[in-house]
Amino acid sequence: MDKRDVDAIAAWLSEKGLEGEGEIALLHGFCERCQAAGLALGRAIVIIDTLHPIYEGRGFRWREDDSDEQPLLEFTRDIGGSTEGWQSSPFYHLIQKGGGELRCRLHAGETAGFSAIEELGAEGQTDYFASVHLFAPDAILGEMDNLASRWTTAQPGGFSDDEVAALRYLTPLLGLAIKSASLARVPAAVVETYLGRDAGRRVLAGRMSRGIAETLHAVLWFSDMRGYTTLSETIASDQLIPLLNDYAEAVITAVHGAGGDVLKLMGDGTLAIFTDSDPAKACVAAMRAEADLRLRLAALNQRRSDAGQPVSTIYLGLHVGDVFYGNIGSPDRLDFTVVGQAVNEASRIASMCRSVDRHVLFSPSFYELLPAEEQAKLVSVGRFALRGVGRAQELFTLDPELVAAGDATEVRGG
């Protein structure tokens, strides 16, 4: 590998970094170009933290032997989990030192006391070069404060000094391109987590101006916890957040699993929508989510009861109507959500669950769109005047006999 090779690889990294090439493609393309230039890389890994509710960091791997090893590693947030493995790693050692590099000539038996490096030598690698680059304080985003990389070779005698110098020069350029690609993923993760999938994508697509909205015909899901106010006043404060998380997870998982989109979490309440070019299919999807939710709640309440924790259930109102979907707020503080009379009606229907002692209620407009086989699972609970709604409505619920027999769980159609 001579200077022309190094310059060509550096130019390729700059070009692909600006184009937005993905992390795996960047690493693999880099390693292949190094090999073509005579730098006999054997294995490589690059790790960078991320800003994500589930994943703490991501790692990208390459091997010259094209093994079945997965090129992507995703490190989950294991609160309270063991950190022994990480704290005994070379990367942790370098981070604690404030960055820098570590080289071990494996062919000469050097391991720096790390079992992970010793294992690489036992697998036929002859040299090891690792580095950690720390980000400046103003460049840190959340926990994204460094980029770590590791390179090995299996060639006899290990890396030459010129090859190590080339890696030392090129790794920051590769790291900059990978950091750019990783940062590009952060906004999507953040907005989809806090706004919902569809609203998040619309915001990232540029729908950020106040007043931009569209009329949407949708199934509206409005749910909240039974007895939440009493529970919040009687249970210990350190049990409240886990309680909310458990029931919110059951609701959100059921909604997402059926293709719905959660727009807003309001304390113990959840607002979600289901859309489809065929409104009947959206109704069937919401029915499927409701059936899944009941199964999840049964398992959740059993687990919490066995652990001596307070239990609850979910009241749910399902409605169909036209809503305004878009940006609402001030010029510099917006919320991307749905508003309109149909949203108010869905909320009122959910509130009626307490009065009629039913876990789920369906509006007449929802009922009328269902296929006949799904309508057959519902029964009327009567006509009710909903607060803030001009006319009384006939509401429906799942047939208690079918629920008791377990025949209301399977949802067909759609």
Q: How many helices (H) and strands (E) does the chain have?
A: 14, 14
Instruction: Answer yes or no: do 235 and 305 share one domain.
Output: yes
Residue 354 within a domain: yes
238 belongs to a structural domain: yes
Residue 128 lies in a domain: yes
Q: How large a percentage of the chain has pLDDT more than 70? A: 95
The yes-or-no verdict on residue 410 having pLDDT over 50 is yes
* Same domain (yes/no): 258, 309: yes
Residue 412 within a domain: no
36 has a pLDDT exceeding 60: yes
Residues 190, 323 within the same domain: no
**Lowest-pLDDT choice from 117-126, 207-216, 246-255, 399-408:** 399-408
Binned at pLDDT 50, 70 and 90, residue 328 comes out as: confident
Cross-strand bridge partners of residue 151: 44, 129
Q: 107: domain range?
A: 3-194
Number of domains the chain is built from:
2
Domain end point (choices 160, 194, 228) = 194
Maximum C-alpha span of the chain: 86
160 plus 297 within the same structural domain = no
User: pLDDT per residue over 126-155, tens digit each?
Assistant: 999 999 999 999 998 988 999 999 999 999
Q: Which tens digits make up the pLDDT trace of 170-228?
A: 999 999 999 999 999 999 888 888 888 888 888 888 877 887 788 999 999 999 999 99
Q: Same domain for 215 and 147?
A: no
Average pLDDT in the chain? 91
Q: What's the confidence (pLDDT) of residue 164? A: 97
- The encoded tokens of residue 266 equal 């309001």
Nearest to 325 by CA among 198, 142, 239, 414: 198
pLDDT value at residue 407: 63
**Shared-domain flag, residues 107 and 118:** yes
Residues 6+ apart with CB under 8 A from 236: none
Same domain, 210 and 188: no
Give me the percent of the chain exceeding a pLDDT of 90.
70
> Is position 411 within any domain?
no
- Cβ neighbours of residue 351 closer than 8 Å, sequence gap 6 or more: 315, 317, 387
Return all residues near 35 (Cβ < 8 A) that are at least 6 apart: 41, 64
Task: Specify the CATH number for the domain of residue 39.
Answer: 3.30.450.40
| pLDDT tens digit sequence for 252-270 | 999 999 999 999 999 899 9
Whether 394 shows a pLDDT value over 90: the answer reads yes
414 is a domain residue: no
**At how many degrees (to 10) do helices 279-306 and 237-257 cross?**
150
Cite the beta strand spans of 54-144 per DSSP E.
Answer: 55-63, 72-76, 100-104, 127-134
Asked if residue 182 and residue 210 are part of one domain, the reply reads no
Same domain assignment for residues 181 and 254 = no
- Quick: pLDDT tens for 378-392: 999 999 878 767 678
pLDDT tens for residues 56-107?
899 999 999 877 789 998 888 764 444 667 778 899 999 998 889 999 999 9
Select the more confidently predicted residue: 296 or 385.
Answer: 296
User: Is the CB of residue 69 less than 8 Å from the CB of residue 31?
Assistant: no
29/178 same-domain check: yes
Please tell me the predicted confidence (pLDDT) of residue 261.
Answer: 95
Domain boundary among 194, 212, 235: 194
Instruction: Write out 165-191 in H/E/C secondary structure.
Output: HHHHHHHHHHHHHHHHHHHHHHHHHHH
Does 131 fall in a domain?
Answer: yes
- Say if residue 413's pLDDT is above 60: no
Specify whether 158 is located in the same domain as 253. Answer: no
Q: What is residue 154's three-state secondary structure?
A: coil
Does residue 312 carry a pLDDT above 90?
yes
Q: Which of 178, 194, 210 is the last residue of a domain?
A: 194
Q: What CATH number corresponds to the domain at position 242?
A: 3.30.70.1230
On whether both 153 and 246 belong to a single domain, the answer is no
In a domain, 227, yes or no: yes
